[in-house]
Chain A
Amino acid sequence: MGLGRFMVRRLALSLLVLAGLSILIFLIARVVPGDPARLALGPRAPEWAVQSLREEMNLDKPLHVQYYLWLRGLLRGDLGKSLLTRRPVMDDIKEFLPATCEIVLFSALVMAVGGILLGVLSASYPNSWFDNVVRVVAYLGIVTPSFVWAVIFVLIFGYIWPILPVIGRLEMTVEAPPVFTGFLLLDSLIFGKYEAFWDGLRHLILPSVALALGGMAQAARITRSSLMENMGKDYALAQVAYGIPWRVTLGKYLLKPSLIPTVSVMALDIAALFANAFLVELVFNYPGISGYGIRAMLNKDVNAISGVIMVMGVIFTGVNIIVDLVVAYLDPRVRLVGGSQSG
């Protein structure tokens, strides 16, 4: 099976999954006890106003009709109105999502570069002090929830040694670029606001590193073990015996196959990034979709909850497709057999 057909199959499956997900999410969001319309307008609003909101939100219709209407809206990009912000959920998501993507992308970068670098270094010096330090640090990284890192970072860099900002996305004194893509860093480059770029970057560091540490440790460990395994294989030993420089062997022959498990696991870790961002953004008061989602969940904001989870599902599915592609590129066997187990 060629890469093209593999992709088509993968995409079709994903669409099916997303359809199923939409039902699941709809069901989760509709079991909310209480009357969302009354909740939105407050106890003193007259009954007719509440009734008209109920109609506007289709809460008066049977469940399957509600689902149909919700799905129809979803396909048109209309997720209904948030009860909390009283705006279309889509507008909220458009505002908050880029910020979260920025954090997640940045920490994915930190995770990938840091993890692979550390893994390669410790595999190159197995059982050295460096390797041991990495191993201990990796274990710590894996077992420490990102919200704990976030709290620790706020304590250290916000308070004991205040060198980095610990709140929000941009300082008040820095002029923000006009919103074009929603990605602050990109926008500030497009419009030449270098000060905003700089400041935005500084704001990204702590939350993304707090998020990345766990995955980075994981990636380092896996890269190391898979590299070690491949280094023991005949072809690698042969290359060394032929006197081919180590870095050529490593860069050209060993690294690619050794990265397959790393990349597969990283898919899960990127998913975990989105999930953990839910907690980390709260700590940093970062205006991302996760903080918005948590607030929506705590306040039973039906439309916002389903909107946010659906968007998460779409992103997650998309990330998985990309990872499958990368794995297929790295590992011809996947392309040929056409099955991938990364979840």
Chain B
Amino acid sequence: MRGGVIAKALAVAVLLAFMGGTLTGCRPPAAEPEPQAEIKPEDRILRVDSDWPTYIDPAVGNDFSDSIALVNLYDTLVFPNFDGSVRPHLATDWEVSPDGRKYTFYLRQGVKFHNGDELTAEDVEFSMKRLLTIGEGFAYLFESVTDVKAVDKYTVEFTLKEPFGPFVRALVRLYILNKDQVLAHIKPGPYGEMGDYGKEWLLTNDAGSGPYKVKEMKMEEYLLAEKFDDWWGGWDKDAPFYLKLIATPDPVTIRTLMARREHELTSEMLPEENLKALDEMEGIDTAGYFDGVNLNIMLHTRKPPTDCIHFRRALAYCLDYETVATKIWPDAVQARGPVPHNLPGHNPNVYQFKQDLEKAMEELKKSKYYGQLEKYPVTLSWCAEVPLEEKLALLFQANAAEIGIKVEVTKKPFGAMIADAQSPETTPNASIIFVAPHYAEAGSMLKSRYHSSTCGSWEQCEWLQNEEIDSMIEEALRTLDEKKRFELYYKIQEKIVELCPTIWVLDRFEKRAYQAGYVYWPAAEEVKAGKAILPIMGYGQYAHDFRVYPEKRMELLKTK
């Protein structure tokens, strides 16, 4: 009699199992295209993961992932070459007044925005004004700009308060918006007659003229951009049709997606273990380059015990640099001073610390905290979004323990680190942070890292506040002549290294895994050809110059 129930239950179970079977097995998974299927435009896609949030408003975005989106959606007056110099882009030519305070740019004619409007000098004027008024994003690069004026339809003039040597190089961060389109989407807001300056609309839309245009922006998930057919620079037939920036999923997912050929280019933050595993897969390679980013252990110079220069030097002498550059980041090189070695203006002769426990002890003995080290532990934060930093944090902790210094390690989300950096009280003694230059010159790094005006930002957790260094940096940036300017950069670097406010750990080798089997990645090719390149933030992922070959992808899928 009980058998009836069991039978029924089993029947249900079988039915469920069968349904499960049809769900999983009988249908080919939609994601795997059938080998015979013809190539559709959406197959020519470049999928890249990057951290989130991505602010695609040119007056707001300024981090690495923002930059990847911005350089693809918007055009700039000049375009950075792989060697750090710039070439004409929207501007065909430009002039500088002898006093270095007036720049005149002549625009390319017939450039179309994504909505078909023509790009004119007025749009450039509007974009600069909008950036300066909103004051976020890269606005600080242009704080010396006092006026910008459209002289005629294709000529625009910038007036500077004082000369700013790297002005033209910095212009790779001025993204040109379509004035009329932005004005049409203004909502009430704090900017007077400009309302919210279109900020809300530009969160998920673009008003650019770049090679790609926003197709869909899904908050915290992805940005899907579509090729802009009328882009003035023209197109190769194999260039990606779509560019998709995906919020970084965990490494396991990335690995799975790469194995299924559903992801083309990984982020730069994958641990070596994962890169190695990816590299072993067929058709997947890893490639990278020194991207001008360096890794710092920023030491708080106003908070005991790191306010003592001897204590700081002791820390700088105890770190095992060799292990860092061979085991943790195998392709990186130890940094020499505050400016990455391939950034124009780097001083190759400044002092470089090496691990030397004797010297470390010597310095430590000179410190006023010697003999009471127990009372002064060093607080250290590392960024939760970059798992690799934990390896450095723990190595540093172990190294410091060897000379009797106690390091308290805390993992913090980047947001929390930014909050901590806002005041000297909450800034920890040591912060592990990667810093990228915003334009390809030493001055970018020196200003954002050591000038007093940047205290309180995550880019300067040192609280150096040294007037002499401030004026040296200002003077250098005012200098128009490149050679003279670089000489001044050299001096600043020497001076900073003397103060030892930072442990300069390494110059980053930005390494990613990509589908070499069916994707052509220009930066990787340059490196393979043996050239030293320096694609600054975002430009290594300039999708227009990539090539994607869906037929080869099919081949790879078939052989699986």
Selected interface stretch from A11-19, A280-288, A309-317: A280-288
**Does A162 interact with chain B (Cβ within 8 Å)?**
yes
Report the Cα distance A173→B242, complex, angstroms. Answer: 12
Would A299 and B413 count as touching, CB distance under 8 A? yes
Q: Contacts of A250 on B, CB cut-off 8 Å?
A: 5
Contact with A along B1-30 (1 / 0, CB 8 A): 110111011001100000010011101011
- Specify the chain A residue showing the minimal Cβ separation from B218: A287
The residue from B134, B247, B413, B426 contacting A34, defined by CB atoms under 8 A apart: B426
For the complex, what is the distance from the CA of A292 to the CA of B220, rounded to whole Å?
8
Within 8 A of B (CB), among A15-54: 33-35, 38-39, 41-46, 49, 52
Determine if B42 and A172 form an interchain contact, defined as CB atoms under 8 angstroms apart: yes
Q: Mark A46-72, 1 if CB is under 8 A from B, else 0.
A: 100100100010000000000000000
Select B9's contact among A121, A162, A174, A205, beta carbons within 8 Å. Answer: A121
Contact A285 B250, CB 8 Å, known A43-B421, A95-B219: yes
Let me know if B457 and A43 touch, CB within 8 A: yes
Of the candidate stretches A80-88, A257-265, A333-341, the one touching chain B is A80-88
- Within 224-261 of B, Cβ neighbours of A (below 8 Å) are at 244, 247, 249-250, 252-253, 255-257, 259-260
* Cα of A84 to Cα of B134 in the assembled complex, Å: 18
Which chain A residues border B6 with CB–CB below 8 Å? Answer: 121, 124-125
Q: A247 is contacted by which of B4, B219, B255, B426 (Cβ under 8 Å)?
A: B4
- Total interface residues on B, CB under 8 Å, equals 64
Question: How distant is the Cα of A42 from the Cα of B1 in the complex, in angstroms?
Answer: 72
- Picked from A39, A167, A283, A291, the residue with its CB within 8 Å of the CB of B257 is A167
B206 to chain A, nearest CB (A): 15
Query: Is A219 among interface residues, defined by CB-CB distance under 8 A?
Result: no
B136 contacts A202, CB within 8 Å?
Answer: no
- Of the candidates A43, A84, A292, the one whose C-beta lies within 8 Å of that of B459 is A43
**A92 an interface residue at 8 Å Cβ cutoff?**
yes
Q: B23 to A38, Cβ gap below 8 A?
A: no
Q: Give the contacts of B407-463 with A (CB-CB under 8 A).
A: 413, 415-416, 418-422, 426, 454, 456-459
**Which A residue's beta carbon lies closest to that of B260?**
A162
Closest to A164 in B: B24
Asked whether B244 lies within 8 Å of A34 as measured between CB atoms, the reply is no
Q: Mark B259-301, 1 if CB is under 8 A from A, else 0.
A: 1101000000000000000000000000000000000000000
Instruction: Given A201-B23, A245-B1, A298-B384, verify A92-B250 contact (CB < 8 Å).
Output: no
| B4-A44 in contact (CB<8A) | no
* Residues 157-195 (chain A) with a chain B CB within 8 angstroms: 158-159, 162-168, 171-174, 195
Taking a contact as CB atoms under 8 Å apart, the answer to whether B415 and A163 are in contact is no
Q: In this assembly, does B121 line the interface, its C-beta being within 8 Å of a C-beta of chain A?
A: no
Asked whether B140 is an interface residue with its Cβ less than 8 Å from the other chain, the reply is yes
Indicate if B221 sits at the interface (CB-CB under 8 A): yes
- CA of A130 to CA of B268, assembled, Å: 50
Residues of B within 8 A of A198 (CB): 23, 27, 30
1/0 per position for B197-210, CB-CB distance to A under 8 A? 00110010000000
Flag whether B371 is at the interface (Cβ < 8 A): no
B4 touches A285 (CB 8 A): no
A247 near B419 (CB under 8 angstroms)?
no
Say if the beta carbon of A102 comes within 8 Å of chain B. no
Name the residue on B nearest A158 (C-beta). Answer: B256
Cα–Cα distance between A52 and B13 once the two chains are bound (Å)? 61
B449 to chain A, nearest CB (A): 13
Q: How far is the CA of A117 from the CA of B420 in the complex (A)?
A: 53
Min C-beta distance of A125 to chain B, whole Å: 7
Residues of chain B with a CB closer than 8 A to A155's CB: 252
A120 adjacent to chain B (CB < 8 Å): yes
Residues in A neighbouring B458, C-beta threshold 8 A: 43
Minimum CB–CB distance from A40 to chain B (whole Å) comes to: 10
Query: With A172-B244, A299-B413, A299-B416 known to touch, is A85 a contact of B422 (CB < 8 Å)?
Result: no
Task: Write the nearest CB–CB distance from A220 to chain B, whole angstroms.
Answer: 13
A227 to chain B, nearest CB (A): 11
Cα(A44)–Cα(B2), bound, Å? 74
Given A124-B5, A173-B30, A205-B23, A300:B259 Cβ within 8 A: no
- Chain A minimum-CB-distance residue to B143: A44
Residues of A within 8 A of B422 (CB): 34-35, 38-39, 43
| Chain A residues with CB under 8 A of B12 | 117
Query: What string of 1s and 0s marks CB contacts (under 8 Å) between B32-72 and chain A?
Result: 01000000001001000000010100000010000000000
A10 within 8 A of B: no
Given A172-B42, A287-B221, is A44 in contact with B190 using a C-beta cutoff of 8 Å? no
Does A246 touch B at the CB level, under 8 Å?
A: yes
Least CB distance from B389 to A in Å reads 16
Interface residue ranges, A against B (CB under 8 Å)? 33-35, 38-39, 41-46, 49, 52, 56, 84-87, 92, 95, 117, 120-121, 124-125, 151, 154-155, 158-159, 162-168, 171-174, 195, 198-199, 201-202, 205, 245-247, 250-251, 282-285, 287, 291-292, 295, 298-301
Give me the 10 closest cross-chain CB pairs, A-B, nearest first: A43-B457, A34-B419, A299-B415, A285-B249, A246-B1, A46-B135, A298-B413, A158-B256, A247-B5, A52-B190
Could you list 27 A-B pairs, sorted by A, with CB under 8 Å? A39-B415, A42-B137, A42-B418, A42-B457, A45-B135, A45-B136, A86-B199, A117-B9, A155-B252, A159-B252, A162-B256, A163-B29, A172-B45, A173-B33, A174-B30, A198-B30, A202-B24, A246-B2, A247-B1, A247-B5, A282-B250, A285-B250, A287-B220, A287-B221, A298-B416, A299-B416, A300-B416
Instruction: Identify 11 new A-B residue pairs, CB closer than 8 A, beyond the known A195-B30, A285-B250.
Output: A34-B416, A42-B418, A43-B418, A52-B190, A92-B219, A121-B9, A158-B256, A166-B253, A172-B42, A246-B2, A299-B415
